[in-house]
Amino acid sequence: MTASKRSTLRPRVRRIALVSTVAAAGLVLAACGNDDDMSGMDHGSKSKSSASASATTGENPAPGAFNDADVKFAQMMIPHHEQAVEMSKLADERAEDAKIKTLAGDIEKAQDPEIKTMKSWLKAWGKPESGSSMPGMDHGSDSSMPGMDHGSGSSGKSGMPGIMSDKDMKELTAAKGTDFDKMFAQMMIDHHNGAIDMAKDEQKSGKNATAKKLADDVVKNQTAEVKTLQGILDKL
C-alpha cells in the first residue's frame, strides 16, 4: 500500500472509531435510561396493584355481590339499632334493677359498633344510609316482612317492626325505678323481636355473605336477650 493511500485511510478509520465510540456510549446511556424507566414503571405498577388490591379487599367491609334486600336490611337496621342504643343509655340513671343496667350496657356495647359496620357497608356499596322509600322501606305490603305491627312501637317512626313511637320514648324517659325497669324490659322485648324479624328476612332474601352473617348474629344474640329480659320482667 502506498503512503498516499495510507494517509487517505487514516481519517476514515478515525471517523469510524469515533462514530463507534459515540454509538457505544449512546447505547450505555440508553440502557441506563431504560433501567431507570423500567424501575419507575415497576414501582408504579406495584403501587397501582397494591392500591387496587386494597380497594377490593381491605377497604371493602362487605365484599362480594349484594342485592336490594342487603341494602334495605342495613338501611332499616341502622335506625333500629340507634333507638335501642338510645333506650339503653337511659337505663344508667333510671333503672333500679342491676340486671337491667347490665343488659342495657351490653346492648349498647354490641349494637353501637354494628351501626358503624352497617354504615360502612352502605358507603362501600355506594348506597345512602336512608332508603328513598322511607318510611316503611316498602315492606308494609311485603308479606315476607312479618311483625310489621309487632309491639307497642308499631305506629312509631318509619313503620319498622318493633320500633318505638315518640310517645313510647317520652314515657320511658319519664319513668324511673321499678316502673322504668318494667317498661324498659317490655319495650326492649318488642324492639328485639322486631329486629329478629328483619334479620330473618335478610337471612332469607339477602345475598351478601357479610350482611347475612350479621343477620345470623342478630337472631342468635337478640333471641337470647329476649329470654333474659322476659325472665327479669317475670320477677319484677
pLDDT of residue 132: 55
Of 28, 8, 168, the C-alpha closest to 84 is: 168
Which superfamily, per CATH, for 68-235? Ferritin, core subunit, four-helix bundle (1.20.1260.10)
Beta strand ranges found along the chain (DSSP E): none
Give residue 7's Cα distance to chain centre. 85
Helix (H/G/I), strand (E/B), else coil: 60: coil
Q: State the amino acid at position 186 in one-letter form.
A: Q
First to last CA, the chain: 127
Tell me the torsion sign for CA atoms 198, 202, 203, 209. negative
pLDDT tens track for 23-66: 444 433 344 444 444 333 333 333 333 333 333 445 789 999 99
Q: State the amino acid at position 6 in one-letter form.
A: R
CA dihedral 88, 158, 233, 108 (to 10 degrees): -20
pLDDT tens track for 89-141: 999 999 999 999 999 999 999 999 999 999 999 999 999 998 754 433 333 33
- Asked if 87 contacts 192 with a C-beta cutoff of 8 angstroms, the reply is no
